[in-house]
Amino acid sequence: MSEIEVLLAEVELLFLGREYPKGADYSRDRLRAAFAKNKDVHDPEKIKELISRGEFVVKELEALYYLRKYRALKKRYYETE
Amino acid sequence: MVSHKSRTGWILLLKFTLSDRGGRVTMSARVLVGVKRVIDYAVKIRVKPDRTGVVTDGVKHSMNPFCEIAVEEAIKLKEKKLVKEVVAVSCGPQQVQETIRTALAMGADRGIHVEVSGKDYETLGPLQVSKIFAALAKKEQADLIILGKQAIDDDCNQTGQMTAALLDWPQGTFASEMTLEADKLKVVREVDGGLETIKIKLPAVVTADLRLNTPRYATLPNIMKAKKKKIANVKPADLGVDVCSRLEVLKVDEPPQRQAGVKVETVDDLVGKLKEAGRV
């Protein structure tokens, strides 16, 4: 069951990583490296911890993208005093 | 006043409750949200060498940011159970289906793709789109239309206003806050002098401003779920709309290049340069 969770987490991060400012390739390579590094972890507790870390990264990326967009639009469309 | 025992009194009461525009509109309300496929906000725009437009081939496109905010607001209303159905609409060629799918992944119930392609699409503007929306609003019996305040490619800021005018509906534009109370909408608008609060009756048109909400990200499970939702295909002719444009783009130019700055070594040099430029 946890294998599927890990897979879903990886795919989610892959999709999100496509919009990363440094480029889709950069984020995909970093993602692969990070997941490969933890390939041999079997302890379910440890896996849960890593998955929640993945979810944390998802939230961080979403916040990053939103702030970037908000700031760009604010700069373009609203008077800055 | 309420306990009319006379015959006319009862008939009036009955008529009021059976009317589909009075009283409890919101429980069965349908919201139409317009989403436009535009060049992604982060892409550096390049003008075509023949100066007839901008380069769109192979360029990253995404949903207009203000449209994202409009979709989010509609979904929020649905989550609060104030409206029953959210319908995402987009006008354009096959590719706009991606944009509709994004709206569906955010939580819209179904989509409508108004097929406009080729030359018609190149000249498609707010007037034709608002005619399309007005026709769709009547056909789908929508109670509320939420649009982005403007598109980041043409910056027209006209579609919402025109749609309201064509339907003779009230409008709440530049909405930074929206509250639905029975069949009235309280809209806080961002205007030059600050904020203006208005109350308008449904059915109405609202255009979303930047601070209305924070659009959610379409998560992978939702993207998968969205694949099952339906997108209907409609042609403008089916809605009785003529998409012929009355406008012709004469030319498109880049903004003037910024002059390169000059670096100086000492303060004396700076003063010298300023004197040269006649500034001192």
> pLDDT, tens digit, for every residue of A6-50?
888 888 888 888 888 888 888 889 888 888 888 888 888 888 888
Q: What is the mean pLDDT of residues A43-68?
A: 90
Is a pLDDT exceeding 60 seen at residue B269? yes
Please indicate whether, in this complex, the C-beta atoms of A72 and B42 are within 8 angstroms of each other. Answer: yes
Q: Confidence class of residue B9 from pLDDT cuts 50, 70 and 90?
A: low
What separation in angstroms does the CA of A39 have from each of A58, B22, B42? Answer: 20, 62, 35
- In this prediction, residue B6 carries a pLDDT of 56
- In this prediction, residue B125 carries a pLDDT of 96
Is a pLDDT exceeding 70 seen at residue B141? yes
- In this prediction, residue B15 carries a pLDDT of 46
Measured between alpha carbons, how far is B21 from A24 in angstroms, rounded to an integer?
50
Shortest distance between the Cα of B252 and any Cα of chain A, in A, equals: 19
Asked whether B61 and B38 are in contact (CB, 8 A), the reply is yes
Asked whether B117 and B93 are in contact (CB, 8 A), the reply is yes
Shortest distance between the Cα of B65 and any Cα of chain A, in A, equals: 8
Chain B residues in contact with A11 by the CB 8 A cut-off are 220
Q: Confidence class of residue B22 from pLDDT cuts 50, 70 and 90?
A: very low
- In this prediction, residue A43 carries a pLDDT of 86
**Chain B residue with the nearest C-alpha to that of A78:** B210
Please give the structure tokens belonging to residue B14: 């009955």
Q: What is the mean pLDDT of residues B17-41?
A: 75
Which of the listed CATH numbers 3.30.43.10, 2.60.40.10, 2.70.98.10, 3.40.50.620 matches domain B30-277? Answer: 3.40.50.620
Handedness of CA B93, B86, B28, B73 (dihedral sign): negative
Q: Testing the interface with B: which of A18, A70, A81 to mutate, by most B Cβ within 10 A?
A: A70
Q: Among candidates B31, B252, B66, which has minimal Cα distance to B146?
A: B31
To which residue do tokens 């309420």 refer?
Answer: B2
- In this prediction, residue A19 carries a pLDDT of 82
Q: Confidence class of residue B276 from pLDDT cuts 50, 70 and 90?
A: confident
CB atoms within 10 A of CB B51: 13
- In this prediction, residue B221 carries a pLDDT of 84
Asked whether B243 and B128 are in contact (CB, 8 A), the reply is yes
Q: Which residue has the higher pLDDT, A9 or B83?
A: B83
Q: What is the mean pLDDT of residues B111-118?
A: 96
Q: Among candidates B175, B209, B184, B200, which has minimal Cα distance to B82?
A: B184
Exposure pattern of B102-134 as b/e (b: 16+ CB <10 Å)? Answer: bbbbbbbbbbbbbbbeeebeebbbbbbbbbbbb
Is a pLDDT exceeding 50 seen at residue B164? yes
Label the pairing between strands B171-181 and B184-191: antiparallel
Q: Mean pLDDT, chain B, as a whole number?
A: 90
- In this prediction, residue B20 carries a pLDDT of 44
Phi-psi region of B215 (alpha: psi -120 to 50; beta: other; left: phi over 0): beta
- In this prediction, residue B26 carries a pLDDT of 57
Asked whether B46 and B54 are in contact (CB, 8 A), the reply is yes
CB atoms within 10 A of CB B233: 12
> pLDDT, tens digit, for every residue of B209-265?
999 999 999 888 898 899 999 999 999 999 999 999 999 999 999 988 887 877 888
Domain coordinates of chain B in residue numbers? 30-277
- pLDDT over 70, % of chain B: 90
Is a pLDDT exceeding 80 seen at residue A81? no
Measured between alpha carbons, how far is B149 from B158 in angstroms, rounded to an integer?
8
Shortest distance between the Cα of B220 and any Cα of chain A, in A, equals: 6
Measured between alpha carbons, how far is B167 from B6 in angstroms, rounded to an integer?
37
- In this prediction, residue A1 carries a pLDDT of 67
